[in-house]
């Protein structure tokens, strides 16, 4: 099971394996208070993508497509999370204010699909949109 939580939410025993998936350390958080199992900065969107998105809701669809493309290019960084999710609960931690439109949700969706196809027509993935056309 994969769930997403803000880093500012208190850790819970049912969180399982807790992974911070932001490139920058969250403001005002002490390492001990997060009860992290890992901080995987390489899973975060590139600095350029993060800055261009600026958490603007109207740009989220574009952000999602570009971030999925980044993830697709480097599956070795996120495939290991699949095993953690299959063994129990995997909690992806993020600092964004928007609990629905953030990189952790996109990453969780990629992991749930067990692949991260860009949302573009592709001979490999059919229609795109995560490979639903396959």
pLDDT by residue (tens digit) across 11-64?
A: 999 999 999 999 999 999 998 889 999 999 999 999 999 888 877 788 899 999
Q: How far apart are CA 90 and CA 109, in angstroms?
A: 13
3-state secondary structure of 53: helix
Q: Which of 109, 134, 107 is nearest to 122 (CA)?
A: 134
Number of domains making up the chain: 1
Helices (H) and strands (E) in the chain — how many of each? 5, 4
pLDDT at 115: 57
Which residues span the domain enclosing 108?
Answer: 2-131
pLDDT by residue (tens digit) across 66-99?
A: 999 999 888 888 888 888 998 999 999 999 999 9
């Amino acid at each position: 099971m994969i769930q997403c939580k803000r880093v500012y939410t208190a850790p819970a025993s049912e969180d399982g394996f807790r992974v911070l998936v932001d490139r920058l350390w969250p403001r005002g958080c002490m390492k001990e208070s997060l009860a992290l199992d890992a901080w995987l900065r390489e899973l975060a969107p590139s600095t350029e993508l993060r800055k261009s998105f600026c958490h603007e809701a109207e740009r989220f669809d574009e952000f999602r497509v570009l971030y999925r493309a980044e993830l697709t290019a480097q599956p070795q960084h996120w495939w290991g999370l699949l095993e953690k999710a299959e063994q129990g609960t995997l909690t992806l931690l993020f600092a964004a204010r928007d609990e629905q439109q953030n990189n952790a949700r996109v990453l969780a969706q990629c992991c749930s699909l067990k692949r991260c196809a860009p949302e573009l027509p592709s001979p490999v993935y059919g229609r795109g949109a995560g490979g639903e056309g396959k």
